């Protein structure tokens, strides 16, 4: 269980994390979704004890991180965004070392290392140095180092950055396994697909603030059941905007090359929408109709694309 209350982290005048509060429960994956620089990594660094918060409280596994750091940290497993492995130690030695760092020893440590090597798919390369590994294999080892001591709480800071699709799927499986085991997983990402696939609960963070939170369904409900229509081509804003207003649709984004709107019963009204917009002189080259997703939600909340 992670409980964060009014967490603030400032660097001089710059407020990197601004009064962030959330709770993550055992057996769930809690996602922190936001663009680069939103404050996700700063938040996770505060929870892992790497950064000292300017204000606020953090409780990890029932222990206050500031007052009872050793007990709080004992229940944490960390998978940093950047690789944090010894490239001059074999995968087995890396795992054994980090297991020992959390008090594992003897046969228990050996069995646990073998188990994790199997889970991350590196058993056949266990004796090799990571400098001989591919990027995906290094990522998996980085992941393994975080869970070798069977932590009750797992902090994953953008664990799939730079990972090939095959390794990514394997990492997703590992996250799901941890969740099934009852581990509380805090997962930061700026990939909406990952958040949608893995997370039971989400907090959308931007400029250090949580701007929306809840389950995926709760967040989708922000759209009131509307659909999303995305158009690409060429559009003249001054002519398109009055037409959309007349269609009882909402503009999520409008640029000279793209248009995204929310509208109820999108499939039924799509031909009429296309006809009305074409009548403004717009050149429509591609059309997509979808249910609301995190990307569109983020766009609605912040007025900017999450990938930007």
Partner 1 sequence: MRFIFVTVIKEMKRRFNDPGGLISAIMIPLAVGFLMATVMGGGGGQPSIKAQLLVTDLDDSFVSQGIISALGQDRITDMIMLQKVDHEAGQQRINEGDGSGHLIIPKGFGKAWLEREEVALQLTVNPSQSISPRLIREMLESLLDLGDYLHKVFGEELKIIARSLDGNELTGISTSVFSANIADKISGIADLVFPPAMTVEDITPQPETASVSFALLMFPGILVMAAFFAANGQSTNFWTEKEKGTLGRWVASPNAFFSFWIAQWFTAMLLTAVVAFPILLAGFLYLDIRFEKFFTALAWLALTGPILFSVLSLIQVLAPSKKAGGMISTLIMFPLLMVGGSFFPTETMPKFIATIAQYTPNGRLVEPMKGYFTGEYGASGMFIHVWGIMAVALVLVLLAGWISTRKALA
Q: Of 7, 29, 33, 78, which one interacts with partner 1 (CB under 8 A)?
A: 78
Residue 113 touches partner 1, criterion: CB under 8 A: no
Dihedral of alpha carbons 12, 16, 18, 20, sign = negative
What distance in Å separates the CA atoms of residue 43 and residue 16, rounded to the nearest whole number? 9
Tokens of 265: 């019963």
Q: Of 71, 110, 168, 176, which one interacts with partner 1 (CB under 8 A)?
A: 71
Q: Of 1, 15, 66, 100, which one interacts with partner 1 (CB under 8 A)?
A: 100
Residue 302 CB, shortest distance to partner 1, in Å, is 30
Q: Of 15, 84, 123, 269, which one interacts with partner 1 (CB under 8 A)?
A: 84
Length reported for the chain: 308
Strands (E), 85-224: 153-157, 184-189, 201-206, 209-215
Stretch that binds partner 1, among 44-52, 193-201, 216-224, 260-268 (CB under 8 A): 44-52
What distance in Å separates the CA atoms of residue 289 and residue 285, rounded to the nearest whole number? 14
Residue 2 touches partner 1, criterion: CB under 8 A: no
What distance in Å separates the CA atoms of residue 255 and residue 259, rounded to the nearest whole number? 6
Residue the block writes with tokens 């993550």:
24
Q: Of 12, 13, 14, 82, which one interacts with partner 1 (CB under 8 A)?
A: 82
Tokens of 186: 């805090």
Stretch that binds partner 1, among 28-36, 49-57, 214-222, 279-287 (CB under 8 A): 49-57
Task: Kindly list the residues in this chain that would bind partner 1 in the complex (CB under 8 A).
Answer: 48-52, 69-71, 73-74, 76, 78, 80, 82-90, 93, 97-98, 100-103, 105, 129, 145
């Amino acid at each position: 269980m992670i409980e964060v209350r009014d967490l603030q982290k400032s660097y001089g005048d710059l407020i990197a994390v601004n009064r962030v509060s959330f709770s993550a429960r055992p057996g769930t994956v809690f996602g922190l979704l936001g663009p680069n620089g939103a404050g996700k990594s700063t938040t996770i660094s505060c929870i892992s004890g790497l950064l000292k918060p300017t204000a606020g409280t953090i409780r990890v596994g029932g222990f206050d991180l500031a007052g009872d750091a050793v007990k709080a940290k004992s229940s944490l497993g960390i998978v940093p965004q950047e690789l944090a492995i010894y490239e001059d130690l074999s995968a087995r030695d890396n795992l054994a070392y980090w297991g020992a760092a959390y008090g594992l020893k003897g046969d228990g440590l050996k069995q646990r290392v073998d188990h994790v090597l199997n889970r991350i798919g590196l058993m056949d390369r266990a004796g090799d140095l990571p400098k001989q590994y591919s990027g995906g294999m290094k990522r998996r080892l980085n992941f393994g180092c975080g869970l070798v001591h069977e932590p009750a709480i797992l902090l994953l800071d953008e664990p799939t950055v730079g990972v090939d699709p095959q390794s990514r799927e394997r990492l997703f499986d590992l996250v799901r396994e941890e969740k099934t085991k009852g581990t509380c997983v805090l997962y930061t990402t700026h990939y909406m697909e990952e958040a949608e696939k893995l997370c039971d609960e989400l907090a959308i963070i931007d400029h250090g603030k949580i701007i929306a939170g809840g389950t995926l369904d709760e967040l989708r409900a922000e759209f009131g059941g509307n659909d999303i229509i995305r158009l690409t081509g060429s559009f003249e804003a001054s002519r398109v905007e009055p037409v959309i207003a007349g269609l009882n649709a909402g503009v999520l984004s409008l640029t000279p090359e793209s248009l995204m709107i929310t509208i109820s019963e999108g499939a039924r009204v799509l031909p009429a929408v296309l006809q009305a917009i074409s009548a403004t002189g717009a050149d429509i080259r591609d059309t997509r109709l979808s249910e609301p997703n995190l990307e569109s939600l983020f766009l609605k909340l912040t007025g900017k694309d999450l990938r930007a």
